Amino acid sequence: MSTERPVPVGTSSAESESAPTRRTFIATTTAVGGAVVIGGLATGSPALATEEAVATEAPPSSLVSLTVNGVRRTVTVDNRTSLLDLLREHLDLTGSKKGCNAGACGACTVLVDGRRVASCLTLAVRLEGAEVTTIEGLEKGGRLHPLQQAFIDQDAFQCGFCTSGQIVSGVGCIQEGHTGSQDEIQEWMSGNLCRCGCYVKIVRAVQQAADRM
């Protein structure tokens, strides 16, 4: 039996002997590719180094001054910080609660220049010079705000998690003049959710406070 390797048509025996085999070609390209990859890892890619440098840079921050519950406060915060996180994490005012953190439940409601806002959706850096009132700022000289007292009188809470947002929103509702009827109060307090279902008593509390303010 002949052991000679067949030669493709149109190819001389000498050319066949000198041509690289498929196995030799694969082995050579794999070795070269591996050397390139290892060399790149050893020396480091400029693009990768740039990305790592950007990732390690401190996020942009700003100095913001605002009045919170009658006290002027100046703090340096990450530009992405919400008013809610500023209050809770920087100023230790934890009465405003972080519920949904998406502006849907009202637990974080505070007053900014007298207007009700969801503090979880409000950037702190946009409040330069603003006046902020939280649940902690409603009590004066040891005396509860009329709406705080009304919530106690009407037993308008159960677990209490939403209560601070309900009260602050109720104060805003009264100041805006939306207390002409139970239906009107319900409409203008609809952004504040109570998972315990104390809505009837909450409306009564707002009505009581509106009558005494």
Q: Which of 26-40, 68-82, 119-133, 185-199 has the lowest mean pLDDT?
A: 26-40
pLDDT higher than threshold 60 for residue 110: yes
Rounded mean pLDDT of 173-186?
97
More confident residue, 8 or 182: 182
**Cβ contacts of 72 within 8 Å, gap of 6 or more:** 65, 66
pLDDT of the residue at 213 = 86
User: What is the distance between the alpha carbons of residues 116 and 173, in angstroms, rounded to a whole number?
Assistant: 8
pLDDT in tens, 50-63: 666 555 677 899 99
pLDDT higher than threshold 80 for residue 22: no
Note whether 59-137 and 139-213 share their fold: no
- Please report, for residues 53, 105, 129, 159, the alpha-carbon distance to residue 163 in angstroms, rounded to integers and kept in the order given: 45, 11, 28, 8
pLDDT of the residue at 52 = 62
pLDDT higher than threshold 90 for residue 17: no
pLDDT of the residue at 24 = 62
Rounded mean pLDDT of 146-156?
98
Q: Which of 52-61, 156-165, 194-203 has the lowest mean pLDDT?
A: 52-61
pLDDT of the residue at 45 = 58
DSSP 8-class letter at 6: P
- Please report, for residues 41, 48, 122, the alpha-carbon distance to residue 34 in angstroms, rounded to integers and kept in the order given: 11, 19, 52
Residue 19, classed as helix, strand or coil, is coil
Rounded to a whole number of angstroms, the distance between the first and last alpha carbons of the chain is 115
Residue 6 φ/ψ, nearest 5 degrees: -65, 145
pLDDT confidence tier of residue 148, bands split at 50, 70 and 90: very high
Q: Where are the domains of the chain?
A: 59-137, 139-213
pLDDT higher than threshold 50 for residue 36: no
Rounded mean pLDDT of 110-121?
98
pLDDT of the residue at 57 = 76
Indicate the pTM of the whole model: 0.74
What's the CATH number of domain 139-213, 1.10.150.120, 3.30.465.10, 1.10.490.20, 3.40.50.880? Answer: 1.10.150.120
pLDDT higher than threshold 80 for residue 16: no
pLDDT higher than threshold 80 for residue 69: yes
For 159, the token pair is: 């677990």
pLDDT of the residue at 166 = 98
To the question of domain 59-137 being in CATH 3.30.200.20, the answer is no
pLDDT higher than threshold 60 for residue 139: yes
pLDDT of the residue at 29 = 58
For 203, the token pair is: 């409306």
Torsional class of 116: left (φ above 0), alpha (ψ -120 to 50), beta (otherwise): beta
